[in-house]
Amino acid sequence: MELQKHYGKATEDKAAYERMIDELTMQEGNRQWDAREQQWRREDMARVNLLKNVYQNREQDILLK
């Protein structure tokens, strides 16, 4: 009877440990995805600003000629 309780407890502990690992893995995946999205947004804004600067410089060059 004690042996069955021990194995039952060990099984429950293992399941709880696996759930905890799954949760932590999901949290880390979400954190990394959010960091990537933030980087992509910064890169997009940098491209937009670069294009704006290019067009502004072209307009200024045209006006100066």
Cα angle at 57 between 52 and 61, to 5 degrees? 150
Quick one: pLDDT at residue 53? Answer: 95
Q: What is the mean pLDDT of residues 17-42?
A: 98
pLDDT band per the 50, 70, 90 thresholds, residue 26: very high
Q: What is the mean pLDDT of residues 7-13?
A: 89
- pTM value is 0.64
